[in-house]
Amino acid sequence: MLNRTADNVARATPEPLARKIRGISDKGLAWLFISPTILLLLAINIFPLFWAIYLSFTNYRANRPNEVVKNLGLSNYQRILGDQDIWIAMQTTAHFVFWTILLQTVIGFTLAWLIDRKFRGHAFWTTIILVPMMLSPAVVGNFWRFLYEPQIGLFSYVISFVTGIPPTNVQMLSNVELAPWAIIIVDTWMWTPYVMLICLAGLRSIPEYIYEAAEVDRASNWRQFWSITLPMALPFIMLAVLFRGIENFKMFDMVNLLTGGGPGSTTEVASITLKRQAFESWRTGYSSAFAIILFVAVFGLANIYVKALNKVKQR
Amino acid sequence: MKSTLKLALGLASAITASTAVSTAAHAEDLTLCWAAWDPANALVELSKDFTKETGIGMKFEFVPWTEYAARFLNELNSHGKLCDLIIGDSQWIGGSAENGHYIKLNDFFDKEKISMDDFVPATVVGYSEWPKNTPNYWALPAMGDVVGWTYRKDWFSKPELQKEFKEKYGWDLAAPTTFDQLKQIAEFFQKRQIDGKTVYGASIYTERGSEGITMGAMDVLYSFGFQYENPKKPYEMEGFVNSEKSVKGLEFYKALYDCCTPPGASNSYMGEGVDAFKSGQVAMHMNFAFTWPGLQKDENVGGDKIGYFVNPKGPDGDQFAQLGGQGISVVSYSDKQESALKYIKWFANKDVQAKWWSLGGYSCLNAVVKDPKFPSSQPYAQTFLDSMAIVKDFWAEPSYAQLLQASQKRFHDYVVAGQGSAKDALDGLVKDWTQVFQDDGKM
Amino acid sequence: MSLTTAHSVVAPSANSKRIAGVIIVAYALISIVPLLWIFATSFKTPPDSIAYPPKIVFQPSLEGYCNLFTTRTRQTPEYINSLGPATGLCDETVRKRNMVIAGPSNFVPRFVNSLIIAFGSTFCAVFLGTLSAYGFSRFKVPLADDLLFFILSTRFMPPIAVAIPIYLMYRELGLSDTALGMILLYTAVNVSLAVWLLKGFIDEIPREYEEAAMIDGYTRLQAFWRTVLPQATTGIAATAIFCLIFAWNEYAFAALLTSGTAQTAPPFIPTIIGEGGQDWPAVAAGTTIFLVPILVFTILLRKQLLRGITFGAVRK
């Protein structure tokens, strides 16, 4: 079937051009194939990045296009690094990233370990578990606001039903203590399947004969778990942590819809601060500097982490 | 593979065709942008007459209040062509005039003999003029609005509650005229059982994301003696924004939030307020007047059960209310400015304005509101007039968004999250605002 | 492997299997409750949706769907009566609440935008991705590793950080709030995924096929068309679905760079409000319609999921 398509293409192409294409060298073809992608990325990613770097040294504001742009040198960076609120946002982000990763790894690994028992119907139930992570965090996050509603929300109702706390007192989104956990719960609900899936691949990659050898040595189940299962699945777990870490460091959509950063600023993660500065206060230069700092931070942390991951893999 | 390709091609061409058709069919339609709320829906109904008269179709883009400013200022700043007409918030006027988002309407008004003297003065200053108090018009006053209060008349008139209240506080339970009274009433109703349901004192603005808590807190602070700047020296804020009286006002707002609001009301603005009142949760409800027509018609809490009162007096007898409302402007990036101006001309017509009021909008036209029959035309009409007489508004400076961001954060951190003191919050606000004006080169 | 596991010495005992099964099923059921709740809420009336205690059994109603597709205004009975009889089911439902339908809502145009942008960007990303992946897989490209990493690194940027300069760039180019602008942007984001995934898939196709074809007299390009592409169909389809899901679900760029004309469903659905706050049945109805395609794709994709979510780093 495809042969025909190719023939049609060949026939439709004017003869001299066709000869030219056919006669193209491998090297030429490689560049012909790769360059469109590179060009697109240069236009949509790299050029804007350099523009942002330039803006970060100025006082430019997107809502005052007619004003004179002043070069501020490094003062935007100094202001950000000295800004109390930015540090609070970074702490909030760190708290969110740490707890979501911890919970998702522990629950995800446990689930994977259980699924690996291969009980009857495990494939079907695995697919069911995977559903939340495929959905739009914004659209589903928005609906969680309803589930968290005191009294009428299903989540609050279930909590008060189980614990006996009056349903009006389960205020997940308005209580300063609870709100950071409210976003952690939703993120964990959504992304635990992700970690689970990767861990499952890790567990399945462990060759059977290692366990058989351990069995011969009469190693206890506990020993087997600690000395075989966990170390051998570790590179996979670390990979999952890497991906989740990057994603959650960038977290915006779900938190923006669930709490919008509130109450007060208790759930204001870095991306929300950035949005407020860039698209509500329109401090374009200042927020570009903050964006660059965030980018460098993610990039740097990820690089260090990848080095560690490679070390674990080599072991 | 071939079938996949075919499918993709088919889809792509179908989609292109359908968009081409839809754009061709509606090339002459006007798009009007506003907030998603009752008056906007009423305007859709009203605008059917415009389409009938002129043959120009109308499309609408409504965005909830909590996103309204962010979204449409984003749209205007991107020089987008989404909106031909925009009913933009009163505080945007400075930025939109200075950055050329709106077209100036003076010549058009002169040509069409539309006089700003025919409109309520407070709305002309608030919604049309920039710089303020100069005859430079950027919008036609479209929707008058102001913060006021509704209360449950049926609960207030229960004899047993009246008796208990009198014993406890020594005065007759009625719509409050001072904030002290308001708080006593709110405390009285908080967590009371009425008709088998637990009810709460009052619903107030606490929203964090857009402008909610600022509108609510300012509404109270004005009457306590808060001032934005030294009346004699512009932009001098120290001792005015954070005066002792202002601190008292903000402390009062927090006390009201802590004692007398429904559970979980930490992020509530107009919509949540309406829900709280309509579901019978609260005895009193702070909200913009636009909510009143809808509540008056409500089956459960409307009719005889609802009463209205003007924002109460502060400790020194000062009485102000936060201005809301908007003017309608023509967006300078639109390709259909002529049709858009036709709409404004049509909308300024006296009969259209009268129908606007009857459908649930608040007309700003003197001919409508000064009509002797106006105060009795609706139960809330008089309260609306009284409130419009005492309005104050937030900064309308081009940097309004930044000024608002600062107050949103300071107020929410203090009132809802309970961080620091009222004095800290207001001192911080002076600091933030000073920084904004310094960056602007105004100080 | 699964066959030998059953007989191996380390096969989990029947008991441990049963316990594992119970826990997994319990987790699966709990984790889909929120989704079932969305579905159920979409068929509730507004009062039922905010009832306390939450209603599990209720009279199904299409009011949520009616509200999703219309704009309504509350009016006096006199005014409503002056309009003449109700036309259609939604009109009747709405009038029972003393409202009239003023016009259609913007849900349908937003949904169409989602379709155009998601399919358009997926097509472009897969097209570009297939070419580059083949290039990286079969030829010695100088600095290949660096280029591949460069392609991936574009994913490290927080979307808001990318959005700032894009916003300015699109303003200059007149691409703000256009489908074309969004398609370009999503293509750029998705192409990194497409290249990495497809390179994996193409690497798995033995070179011998092409070499055999070329010995038969085909040029490189013909060999690519006739031998590589047909064998990569599954990989291309899986990649396309991943790109589609990303573009379908994306919120941050859409919220910041579109305002109406090209706005997609994710930033629109949270703005569906009733007379007060959110009209939950209508929101649930919109969410349900929005989620169904993804559910179908998830089931289609379940075997390839792992590869997709790890950029091809883990392949079972």
Q: Which residue of C has its CA nearest to A127?
A: C302
Of A10, A41, A257, the CB nearest to C154: A41
CB contact, 8 Å: C246 with chain A? no
Q: Is A224 helix (H, G, I), strand (E, B) or coil?
A: helix
SS3 of chain C: the string is: CHHHHHHCCCCCCHHHHHHHHHHHHHHHHHHHHHHHHHHHHHCCCHHHHCCCCCCCCCCCCCHHHHHHHEEEEECCHHHHHCCCCCCHHHHHHHHCCCEEEEEECCHHHHHHHHHHHHHHHHHHHHHHHHHHHHHHHHCCCCCHHHHHHHHHHCCCCCHHHHHHHHHHHHHHHCCCCCHHHHHHHHHHHHHHHHHHHHHHHHHCCCHHHHHHHHHCCCCHHHHHHHHHHHHCHHHHHHHHHHHHHHHHHCCHHHHHHCCCCCCCHHHHHHHCECCCCECHHHHHHHHHHHHHHHHHHHHHHCCCHHHHHCCCCCCC
Say if A15 falls within a structural domain. Answer: yes
Find all residues with CB under 8 Å of B54, minimum gap 6, and list them.
B339, B342, B346
Q: Does A66 touch chain B (CB under 8 A)?
A: yes
- Transcribe B242-273 into DSSP letters: T-HHHHHHHHHHHHHHHHHS-TT-SS--HHHH
A14 inside 8 A of chain B by CB: no
Mean pLDDT rounded to a whole number for chain B = 90
Quote the domain boundaries for residue C30: 15-60
Indicate whether C125 pLDDT > 90: yes
| Angle, CA C18 vertex, CA C12 and CA C20 arms, to 5° | 75
Q: Three-state DSSP class for B363?
A: coil
Q: Answer yes or no: are the C-beta atoms of B395 and B228 closer than 8 Å.
A: yes
Is residue B303's pLDDT more than 50?
A: yes
Interface contact flag, B19 C116, Cβ < 8 Å:
yes
Taking the C-alpha atoms of residue C72 and residue C63, their distance in angstroms, rounded to an integer, is 12
Q: Which amino acid, C295?
A: L
Residues 34-93 of C with CB under 8 A from A: 34-35, 37-38, 41, 50-54
Domain check: are A239 and A175 in the same one? Answer: yes
Residue A125 lies in a domain: yes
C116 confidence band (pLDDT: 50, 70, 90): very high
**pLDDT band of B14, cuts 50, 70, 90:** very low
Query: What was the pLDDT predicted at C3?
Result: 37
Q: Which DSSP state fits A229?
A: I
Burial of residue A95, with CB atoms counted within 10 A of its CB: 0-12 exposed, 13-18 middle, 19 or more buried: middle
Chain C CB contacts of B5 below 8 Å: none
Statement to judge: residues C79 and C199 lie in one domain: no
Which pLDDT does position A16 carry in this prediction? 54
Q: Return the residue of B nearest to A281 by Cα.
A: B402
Q: Taking CB atoms and an 8 Å cut-off, how many pairs form between chains A and B?
A: 96
The minimum CA-CA distance between C313 and chain B, rounded to whole Å, is 26
Same domain, A291 and A160: yes
Single-letter residue type at B120: V
**Rounded Cα gap, residues C162 and C185, in angstroms:** 10
Q: Which chains touch B (3 or more CB pairs under 8 A)?
A: A, C
Find out whether C148 and C136 touch, Cβ atoms under 8 Å. yes
Q: How far is B64 from chain C (nearest CA, A)?
A: 6
**C105, C140, C158 - which closes a domain:** C105
Q: B237 Cβ partners below 8 Å, 6+ apart? A: B228, B229, B230, B430, B433, B434
Q: What is the pLDDT of residue B167?
A: 94
Please check whether residue A115 lies inside any domain of the structure. Answer: yes
Cis amide prior to C159 (ω within 30 degrees): no
Considering the entire predicted model, what is its pTM? Answer: 0.87
Q: Are residues C49 and C85 in the same domain?
A: no
| pLDDT level of residue C10 (50, 70, 90 thresholds) | low
* Closest partner CB to C245 (pick from A30, A41, A134): A134
Instruction: Tell me what the mean pLDDT of segment B281-301 comes to.
Output: 92
Which residues of chain C have a CB within 8 Å of the CB of A139? Answer: 249, 251, 265-266, 269-270, 287, 290-291
Flag whether pLDDT at C275 surpasses 80: no
User: How many whole angstroms separate alpha carbon A63 and alpha carbon A280?
Assistant: 10
Q: Residue C35: its chain A contacts at CB < 8 A?
A: 131-132, 135
**Contact at 8 Å (CB) between B41 and C273?**
no
Tell me the DSSP string of B68-123: HHHHHHHHHHTT-SS-SEEEEEGGGHHHHHHTT-BPP-HHHHHHHT--GGGB-HHH
Dist. CA B349–CA B365, nearest whole Å? 9
Tell whether C68 and C20 lie within a shared domain. no
Tell me what pLDDT residue C5 has: 39
ipTM, two decimals: 0.88
Residues contacting residue C77 through CB under 8 Å, at least 6 positions apart: C98
Q: What is the pLDDT of residue B22?
A: 46
Domain around A28: 2-55
Domain B147-322+396-439 indexed as CATH 3.40.50.10190: no
Residue of B71, B101, B272, B290 to mutate when probing chain C, most C C-beta within 10 A: B71
- Per the DSSP assignment, residues forming a β-bridge with C72 are C101
Q: Is residue C183 part of a domain?
A: yes
C-alpha–C-alpha distance, residues A35 and B192, integer Å: 71
pLDDT in the model for residue C83: 85
Distances (CA, A) of B44 to A242, B50, B418, C275: 50, 10, 42, 15
Structural domains counted in chain A: 2
| C175, two tokens | 């691409």
* Residue A205 and residue A275 share a domain: yes
Residue that the structure tokens 């919509």 belong to: B271
CB contact under 8 A, C237 and B4: yes
Contacts of C257 in chain B (CB under 8 A): 78
C142 and C91 in a common domain: no
pLDDT for res B3: 45
DSSP label of B47:
H
Least CB–CB distance from C280: residue in A125, A146, A197? A146
Give the lowest-confidence range in A7-16, B406-415, C185-194: A7-16
Sign of the dihedral defined by the CA atoms of residues A161, A162, A168, A170, in that order: negative
Sketch the domain layout of chain B as residue ranges.
29-144+326-392, 147-322+396-439
The residue from C45, C70, C105 where one domain ends is C105
Q: Is residue B415 classed as helix, strand or coil in its secondary structure?
A: helix
Residue C225 covered by a domain: yes
- Containing B31, the helix (H) or strand (E) segment is strand B30-35
Do the Cβ atoms of B266 and A171 come within 8 Å?
yes
CB contact under 8 A, C165 and A236: no
Residues from chain B contacting residue C171 (CB–CB below 8 Å): 77-79
CATH architecture of B29-144+326-392: 3-Layer(aba) Sandwich (3.40)
The reply to whether C304 and C293 lie within a common domain is: yes
- Give pLDDT, residue B406: 94
Of B377, B372, B371, B340, nearest to B359 by C-alpha is: B377
State whether C164 and C192 are in the same domain.
yes
A42 and A132 co-located in one domain: no
Q: Residues B110-168: pLDDT tens digits?
A: 999 999 999 999 899 999 998 888 999 999 999 999 999 999 999 999 999 999 999 99
Question: Do residues C151 and C185 both lie within one domain?
Answer: yes
**Residue-wise pLDDT tens digits, C210-257:** 888 888 888 888 888 888 899 898 889 889 988 999 999 999 999 999
A34 in contact with C, Cβ within 8 Å: yes
Number of domains observed in the structure of chain C: 3
In the prediction, which pLDDT does A146 show?
92
Residue predicted with more confidence, A200 or B21: A200
Residues of chain A found within 8 Å of residue B66, distances taken between Cβ atoms = 260
C190 and C303: one domain? yes
C73 and C117 assigned to the same domain = no
Instruction: Give C116: exposed, middle or buried? Use CB within 10 Å, 0-12, 13-18, 19+.
Output: buried
Mean pLDDT score, C251-276 = 90
Say what the pLDDT of residue B12 is: 45
Q: Confidence band (pLDDT; 50, 70, 90) for C289?
A: very high
- A66, part of any domain: no
Residue B186 to chain C, least CA–CA distance (Å)? 22
Q: Can you tell me the distance from the alpha carbon of B367 to that of B118, in angstroms, rounded to the nearest whole number?
A: 7
Same domain, A177 and A259: yes
What CATH number is given to the structural domain containing C157? 1.10.3720.10
Q: What is the pLDDT of residue B1?
A: 38
pLDDT at position B13 is 43
In a domain, A70, yes or no: no
Residue window 43-102, chain B: list those with CB within 8 Å of chain C.
44-45, 48, 60-64, 67, 71-72, 74-75, 77-83
Confidence (pLDDT) at B399: 87
Do C42 and C131 fall within a single domain? Answer: no
Topology match between the domains B29-144+326-392 and B147-322+396-439: yes
Which of B198, B267, B398 shows the shortest C-beta gap to A173?
B267
pLDDT of amino acid C8: 42
User: Could you list the pLDDT tens digit for every one of the 315 residues in chain A?
Assistant: 344 444 555 455 555 555 555 566 778 888 889 999 999 999 998 888 899 999 999 999 888 877 788 888 899 999 999 988 899 999 999 999 999 999 999 999 999 999 988 888 888 899 899 999 889 999 988 999 999 988 788 999 999 989 988 877 888 998 889 999 999 999 999 999 999 999 998 998 888 888 888 888 888 888 888 989 999 999 899 989 998 999 999 999 999 999 988 788 899 999 999 999 999 888 999 999 999 999 898 888 888 988 888 887 776
Indicate the residue of C233, C261, C278 with minimum beta-carbon distance to B1. C233
**C242 plus C150 within the same structural domain:** yes
Least-confidence region, from B30-39, B70-79, C45-54:
C45-54
- Shortest Cα distance, chain A CAs vs residue B127, angstroms: 20
Helix residue spans in chain A (DSSP H): 2-12, 15-22, 26-41, 47-55, 75-81, 84-115, 122-134, 137-148, 154-163, 179-204, 208-216, 221-224, 230-249, 253-258, 270-275, 284-314
Is residue A71 one of the residues assigned to a domain?
A: no
A25: buried, middle or exposed (CB in 10 Å: 19+, 13-18, 0-12)?
exposed
User: What is the mean predicted confidence (pLDDT) over C37-49?
Assistant: 92
pLDDT at C14: 83
* C33 and C156 both lie in a single domain: no
Please check whether residue A174 touches B, CB under 8 A. yes
For residue B292, what pLDDT is reported?
94
